[in-house]
Structure 1
Amino acid sequence: MPAQQTDRGAMLKPGDPVRLGPYRLLDRLGEGGQGAVYLAETGDGERVAVKLLHARHADGPDVRARFLREIELARQVAEFCTARVLDAGESDGAPYVVSEYIDGVSLQKSVEREGPRSGAALHRIAVGTATALAAIHQAGIVHRDFKPANVLLGPDGPRVIDFGISRALDTMGTTTSGVVGTPTYMSPEQIGGQRVGAASDVFSWAATMVFAATGRPPFGHDSIPAVLHRILTAEPDLSAIPDELRQLLAHCLTKDPAARPSASQAMLALISHRSAPPGAAHSPHRTDPLGQGLDTVPSRARRKVAYGVAAVACAAVVTGAAIAVPSWLSADPPVPTVTSATTVSPSPAGVTTAPTSTAGPGPTPTAAPSPPRFSADAVGKALGTLRGHTDDVETVATTSVGGRQVVVSGSRDRTVRLWDLATRRPLARLSGHTNWVRKVAVTDLDGDRIAVSGSDDGTVRLWDLARRKPLGRPIDQGEPVFSLAVAQDDGRPVAITGGRDGSVRVWDLSTRKEIGKRRKGHSGAVFSVAAAGAEFFTAGADGEVKRWSLHSGEGESVTTHTGQASVVETATLDGGTVVLSGGGDQEVWVDEPTGGERRLPYLGHSGWVYSIAVAEVAGRTLVVSGGNDGTARVHDLATGKDVGRPFKDHDHNVFGLATAVLGGRTVVVSAGGDDTLRVWRLT
């Protein structure tokens, strides 16, 4: 991750530290605008790279702590063609980041010294870096500064470094206007100060590949104003690009972010020797060859192969061997079976019958003045904004307290907050957690309406919503609580938690004691839990979605995403339960709980899917999904079709979603990485 160079002539300079935390510094590798990079050694003698950021980037302990939490996300990136992030800490008030040491020169230096690449050498660099970028995006991270200097040519192939630092610095307030990057390789949206998503990285990747192939960037390298003007208004110079790469890079360098392919699509185009068609990332049906490989996979077994292709691609980069692409990725695949659309029985007037898993059991149904009427034209219209959190809002739930519709939210600012949904006014700020609040849910305990929150501080806390205060002692899980849902077990309220280590646990909320033994089900963090009767479902960093009994037993696989599975939810269709899940493959999947054939996925997102909510409106079951493309989208569960317009008011990730009925109409409350909650119409 840190910017590493192997021009190691310069030893430590006067004033350089000799140790950072447990790491002994051996040599200064280089220095840039963010800080200095050192070759270091662990206590076991392993060599690592340590990037010590300038002290000005972390003015105060809270800011440094926030930086370290952001860097923790980078440690979740799959190790495909990247320099692994190993550790982070601080020394004398300045933060540092530790990564795997890559003994190789940067692509920038290599091309300057040896000239451009061509043929198989160029293709291996393109495949390796596109694969790395896909892995970074599947972890929910946007690089923001992809350039030749951040690609190292190691003995085992190209490695991408420095991912996550720009976002971390931005959250610390060390950048102005959100513009981060190297001008020659910046996307048009970066230059314009707009929201920067995964599509921006794809633009920068393509510009880097042009440099690798020609020795010059696609928009020149003279004065910065001239280069920025060309990026915004001119077409790139691709005349010297080999035919097999030219069309793909042209699509990646288009001005419109929505028209660029994703990193995973670019990777598949490279290994299957296909070029990306315009609009590949956002085609509603993805009938193009590039999208077919992942979007119409007919079985779970084939889905597992797709993620393995990335590992195969990186292995081929090292050896220069030909890449054997499965036939279903390089040929027209069969069309999957799609369950016929049916009409879902309408719910009682004014009652949300399928709240999100984080919301828990709903309040006693109360009749609205009239049944909600459905109009697609109304979907997505903004109704208001809830402001008060001072960091990303990770989670949201809705409920009724004393006849008032309220919103409960949890944030990286370590607080749980309570809001009046009708007036959009804050009601309470509940403090006690000492780290990020990952999940909130609501349920009843001893006749009182309560909120349950899980945090990275390792605790589950209960809050009396009527009295707006803590309720008894917290549950100490002893490890970060990454996910949480509530359920009723024979009338006993319980909480189900997912941990960073891949385990799931069940807790009696009355006694605060664990029920049964901790169960290990995932090979990475459990990012989401959804309860459904005597069962629950989990989504994990290993891409797996699993089904569990509430009482005992191991988890059974339901489906496997081609990347991390970040959210799971349940809904009712054709009288039975279906499992909805989303993750790094940018889709919402609909599966049978027993792992049968899945329905055609819901498309539209250009980034990781973080959140899903379900609501029944006028006889239709609607699925709402939010992602790190900053949008929330609505689909009809029975038909799979888009409903209304996407909601685009957030200028960062949509981390959480909940639905509620207010004044006879169904609304959505979305929690964003822009520190706000937004209220908008579903009817």
Structure 2
Amino acid sequence: MPSFSPLRPADPSQVGPYRLTGYLGAGGQGTVYVGESPEGQTVAIKVLHARLSEEPQARERFLQEIAATRQVRQFCTARVLDADTSGDQPYVVSQYVEGISLSRLIAAQGVRDPDALERLAVATVTALVAIHQAGIVHRDFKPSNVVCGPDGPRVIDFGLARALDSTVAESSEILGTPAYMAPEQFSAGVVTAASDMFSWAATMAYAASGRPPFGNDSIPALFQRILNEEPDLSGLTEPVRSLVVACLDKNPAARPSATDVLFTLLGHGVPAAARETSGQEALFPTPWQEGGGGASRTGAPSTAGSAFSAGFPAPAGFPSPAGSPSRPVLPPQPGPPSLSGPASLSGPPFVPGGAPRPGTGPVSATESLAGAPARTGLRPRRTLVVASLGLVVAGVVATGAYFALSTPATPKLVTRQAVVTGPTTPVVQPEVTRTLAPTPAYAVAYSPDGKTFVTGGAEGKVQIWDAATRRATTTLEGHTKGVHAVAFSPDGKTLATGSDDGTIRLWSLPSGEGKGTLTGHTGGVGSVAFSPDGKTLASASRDKTVRLWNAETGDGTALLNGHTDWVDSVAFSPDGETLATGSHDRTVRLWHPATGEAAAVLTGHRYWVFSVAFSPDGKTLASASADRTVRLWDVAARKARTVLAGHRGWATALAFSPDGRMLASGGYDRKVRLWEVASGRGTGELDGPGDWIYSVAFSRDGATVTGVAGDATLRVWGTR
């Protein structure tokens, strides 16, 4: 099986003095080719994406990757041979490792048998020992970054790697590949060597079963499982299984270090000298060490970085847990840090189970479905709807940034954009909170007449609610997995829902009878939208495509290709002439829906784009990203005009008020922020959810915002 593909038509034939001969793959940072040096040596060449070459932060990260790779002992990775970051096309040249990635190997040959898995575990954890002893955290350990060659596995791609002593605050970044990310990576906690060990364990589980241990569907569902559920460890046998269990602990302080795992696999004790530089204790203190101790998931004290606290016997020569000094038990989980405090957290970066953290913030009024009385909060000012998963805390100060805008063919630099920060004090409290179900809800939308709204949630649940009483009136059944997309047709007679099961369902309203099921996507559907005339339905999927459908017949009319990663959001302009899409590939794309042709590519977001929304007049497009910002784009000029900074976690959800004057954004920091569209000024902050915000929507009169949350609650805020 060849390990690379022929060059594509748009690929360069030469980079610097290196002749390119094949295409290896592409990621968020760059494209990797096989090439030949002037001396005839076969090499691998990573070229920074053109859209990132004008961004100082992207260049800095590229330099960090080169520096990180050079610090690691070369037996476990690909040796850096050359680099040039001074030109318009930065690149790095490394040793070409003959072989295929672990992900391709599993796809081609099937899962590893116990002996092969143990050899793989020893080789890859040895590489992590070397990486961690070099003072580096890889941060993106996954099957596609393990190359299996004739001389054994090697760990590659240090594009997200960082030294622990980096001056950039780790708590401000959320990076990695979702199915293999540790809980603290999702929640913007401090990322340490322990995070690599979680990813290593997830990779071993994949090698044994052919599936990531927590699945690989939508990010909200995936994160809920990583935080709250047990992994699928089918196919794993001892001794690897116990080590994987220990490394998948929700608490990073309870995970074994790479050195612990290696010596356990080899059946030896860990020498004291090795433990002092095991890559987790001396070099990589966990947030629990900083905050005064660590505990296992069950709350029991854990030995410092020891694999043997996980319930399997210590090898001969290693002191037993009972005789080892243990970290103190964690104090009670703290609430979100003060808005005026530092950005980093001194305590655990997440709360297992997603439960609201007691003792912090204003008390919100609450009414359960069982009829518990609601307590009144501050007098609301105007209303808005929000679907939520779980948020951290808000308010950061940011500086200006350059952004590149391009049509698909010709990128060009645009001007510096204003960066606006939001308020740092909550100004509105929820007037009522309702428990939706034992499962989280992911999406919310109002009907055109404003009398009802619909929510989509876990386990295929779709519910229609009375907007006046805020009580569920109808439950629609049919989807087999989580529903992340809901949309009403303009006349309110049809509801479209999209699911992790890869289907779109159409329902007649108000009866709730099924009209049909649209199939064609090969991945989960994360967003659906009707055209303003109601004749066309657009859908966005994790299969990296956008599809257009005849809304009446259900026939597919167009397939839009162009995004290189999951497509998370789709929206029609009010005149129906433009379709906008947001993707994990960090871009916003504009399309002509009548022809299916690409119109423009808007770049500037540093990480995944979760949501896009047009203003009611169609002049402004908003996009929300995992880089914690919301960007406002001038649709006619095809350029960004304002960057709204303030969310402390991923910005995941957007909604314009009906009059277009206000924008609501929700995020993983448990906040909904209100912004004045004309000025970009932050005007309010909505508190209340005990979990992250998935989706937000204004009521038709603009008086309320409704939100559904990962803690299975529905919240309604007044905005006037």
Q: After TM superposition, is the score higher than 0.5?
A: yes
Question: Is 1:636 matched with 2:676?
Answer: yes
Question: Is 1:23 matched with 2:66?
Answer: no
Q: For the residues of structure 1 that align with 2:113 and 2:169, how far apart are their CA atoms?
A: 29
Match of 1:668 in 2: 705
Query: Does the residue aligned with 1:168 lie in a helix, a strand or coil?
Result: helix
Match of 1:526 in 2: 567
Which of 519, 523, 526 aligns to 1:483? It is 526
**Cα distance, 1:580–1:444 mapped onto 2, change above 3 Å:** closer
Q: For the residues of structure 2 that align with 1:512 and 1:180, how far apart are their CA atoms?
A: 44
**Cα distance, 1:630–1:252 mapped onto 2, change above 3 Å:** closer
Q: For the residues of structure 2 that align with 1:147 and 1:377, how far apart are their CA atoms?
A: 31
Deviation string 1:380-399 (CA, Å, 9 cap, x unpaired) is: 32122343334321111011
Query: Does the residue aligned with 2:328 lie in a helix, a strand or coil?
Result: helix
Match of 1:677 in 2: 714
Deviation string 1:481-514 (CA, Å, 9 cap, x unpaired) is: 533343347x452101112222222111111112
Q: Contact between 2:402 and 2:604, CA under 8 Å: does it hold in 1? A: no
Match of 1:246 in 2: none
Which of 222, 225, 228 aligns to 1:168? It is 225
- Amino acid in structure 2 at the alignment position of 1:460: I
Deviation string 1:256-306 (CA, Å, 9 cap, x unpaired) is: 979xxxxxxxxxxxxxxxxxxxxxx955433xxxxx3xxx1133269x9xx
**Cα distance, 1:478–1:558 mapped onto 2, change above 3 Å:** closer
**Cα distance, 1:502–1:382 mapped onto 2, change above 3 Å:** same
In structure 1, runs of 5+ residues without a counterpart are: 1-5, 7-18, 30-36, 42-46, 50-78, 87-97, 106-120, 187-206, 234-249, 259-280, 287-291, 305-327, 329-333, 340-375
In structure 2, runs of 5+ residues without a counterpart are: 1-74, 76-105, 126-136, 156-160, 186-190, 206-211, 215-222, 232-244, 257-277, 294-303, 305-323, 336-341, 351-392
Q: For the residues of structure 2 that align with 1:227 and 1:658, how far apart are their CA atoms?
A: 42
Q: Contact between 1:452 and 1:461, CA under 8 Å: does it hold in 2? A: yes
Question: Is 1:549 matched with 2:549?
Answer: no
Q: TM-score, normalised by structure 1?
A: 0.55
**Cα distance, 1:23–1:300 mapped onto 2, change above 3 Å:** same
Q: Contact between 1:660 and 1:667, CA under 8 Å: does it hold in 2? A: yes
**Cα distance, 1:185–1:666 mapped onto 2, change above 3 Å:** farther
Q: For the residues of structure 2 that align with 1:616 and 1:497, how far apart are their CA atoms?
A: 23
Question: Is 1:439 matched with 2:439?
Answer: no
Matches within 5 A, 1:1-400: 22-27=110-115, 39=120, 81-85=139-143, 123=163, 134-136=174-176, 143-144=183-184, 147-151=192-196, 168=225, 170-172=227-229, 180-183=250-253, 211-212=282-283, 218=290, 219=292, 226=328, 228=330, 252=344, 254=346, 283-286=395-398, 292=399, 296-300=400-404, 336=417, 380-399=428-447
Q: For the residues of structure 2 that align with 1:131 and 1:378, how far apart are their CA atoms?
A: 22
Q: For the residues of structure 1 that align with 2:545 and 2:173, how far apart are their CA atoms?
A: 28
Query: Does the residue aligned with 2:282 lie in a helix, a strand or coil?
Result: helix
Q: Contact between 1:208 and 1:217, CA under 8 Å: does it hold in 2? A: no
**Cα distance, 1:48–1:133 mapped onto 2, change above 3 Å:** farther
Match of 1:411 in 2: 457
Deviation string 1:196-223 (CA, Å, 9 cap, x unpaired) is: xxxxxxxxxxx98773179995557586
Q: For the residues of structure 2 that align with 1:168 and 1:124, how far apart are their CA atoms?
A: 28
Deviation string 1:161-192 (CA, Å, 9 cap, x unpaired) is: 999868525443799xxx93044799xxxxxx
Q: For the residues of structure 1 that align with 2:116 and 2:169, how far apart are their CA atoms?
A: 26
Q: For the residues of structure 2 that align with 1:576 and 1:169, how far apart are their CA atoms?
A: 39
Q: Contact between 1:150 and 1:160, CA under 8 Å: does it hold in 2? A: no
Q: For the residues of structure 2 that align with 1:185 and 1:454, how far apart are their CA atoms?
A: 37
Q: For the residues of structure 2 that align with 1:506 and 1:153, how far apart are their CA atoms?
A: 39
**Cα distance, 1:251–1:458 mapped onto 2, change above 3 Å:** closer
Q: For the residues of structure 2 that align with 1:458 and 1:256, how far apart are their CA atoms?
A: 35
Query: Does the residue aligned with 2:689 lie in a helix, a strand or coil?
Result: coil
Which of 475, 482, 494 aligns to 1:429? It is 475
Q: Contact between 1:185 and 1:217, CA under 8 Å: does it hold in 2? A: no
| TM-fit CA distance, 1:559 | 3.0
Deviation string 1:589-630 (CA, Å, 9 cap, x unpaired) is: 01122564422311111111111001046xx71110111222
| TM-fit CA distance, 1:520 | 0.2
Query: Does the residue aligned with 2:594 lie in a helix, a strand or coil?
Result: coil
**Cα distance, 1:223–1:461 mapped onto 2, change above 3 Å:** same
Match of 2:517 in 1: 474
Deviation string 1:564-587 (CA, Å, 9 cap, x unpaired) is: 111111115xx7611100111100
Q: For the residues of structure 2 that align with 1:153 and 1:492, how far apart are their CA atoms?
A: 46
- Amino acid in structure 2 at the alignment position of 1:641: R
Q: Contact between 2:461 and 2:477, CA under 8 Å: does it hold in 1? A: yes
| TM-fit CA distance, 1:478 | 4.1
Match of 1:648 in 2: 687
| TM-fit CA distance, 1:27 | 3.4
Which of 536, 540, 556 aligns to 1:494? It is 536
Q: Pairwise CA RMSD of aligned residues?
A: 5.1
Q: For the residues of structure 2 that align with 1:208 and 1:666, how far apart are their CA atoms?
A: 53
Q: TM-score, normalised by structure 2?
A: 0.53
The number of aligned residues is 451
Q: For the residues of structure 1 that align with 2:612 and 2:403, how far apart are their CA atoms?
A: 19
Q: For the residues of structure 2 that align with 1:559 and 1:390, how far apart are their CA atoms?
A: 39
Match of 1:53 in 2: none
- Amino acid in structure 2 at the alignment position of 1:84: K
Deviation string 1:354-375 (CA, Å, 9 cap, x unpaired) is: xxxxxxxxxxxxxxxxxxxxxx
**Cα distance, 1:556–1:27 mapped onto 2, change above 3 Å:** same
Match of 2:663 in 1: 623
Q: For the residues of structure 1 that align with 2:177 and 2:672, how far apart are their CA atoms?
A: 18
Matches within 5 A, 1:579-594: 579-594=621-636
Q: For the residues of structure 1 that align with 2:349 and 2:671, how far apart are their CA atoms?
A: 14
- Amino acid in structure 2 at the alignment position of 1:181: N
Q: For the residues of structure 2 that align with 1:134 and 1:582, how far apart are their CA atoms?
A: 14
Comparing 591-600 with 495-504, greater Cα deviation is found at 591-600
**Cα distance, 1:408–1:284 mapped onto 2, change above 3 Å:** same
Q: For the residues of structure 2 that align with 1:667 and 1:298, how far apart are their CA atoms?
A: 35
Q: For the residues of structure 1 that align with 2:566 and 2:710, how far apart are their CA atoms?
A: 20
Q: Contact between 1:622 and 1:635, CA under 8 Å: does it hold in 2? A: yes
Q: Contact between 2:602 and 2:639, CA under 8 Å: does it hold in 1? A: no
Query: Does the residue aligned with 1:151 lie in a helix, a strand or coil?
Result: helix
| TM-fit CA distance, 1:417 | 0.6
Query: Does the residue aligned with 1:548 lie in a helix, a strand or coil?
Result: strand
Q: For the residues of structure 2 that align with 1:588 and 1:140, how far apart are their CA atoms?
A: 26
Which of 625, 636, 658 aligns to 2:697? It is 658
Deviation string 1:45-104 (CA, Å, 9 cap, x unpaired) is: xx999xxxxxxxxxxxxxxxxxxxxxxxxxxxxx97412257xxxxxxxxxxx9888958
Q: For the residues of structure 1 that align with 2:510 and 2:282, how far apart are their CA atoms?
A: 61
Q: Contact between 1:539 and 1:565, CA under 8 Å: does it hold in 2? A: yes
**Cα distance, 1:438–1:641 mapped onto 2, change above 3 Å:** same
- Amino acid in structure 2 at the alignment position of 1:384: V
Which of 497, 512, 517 aligns to 1:453? It is 497
| TM-fit CA distance, 1:549 | 1.0
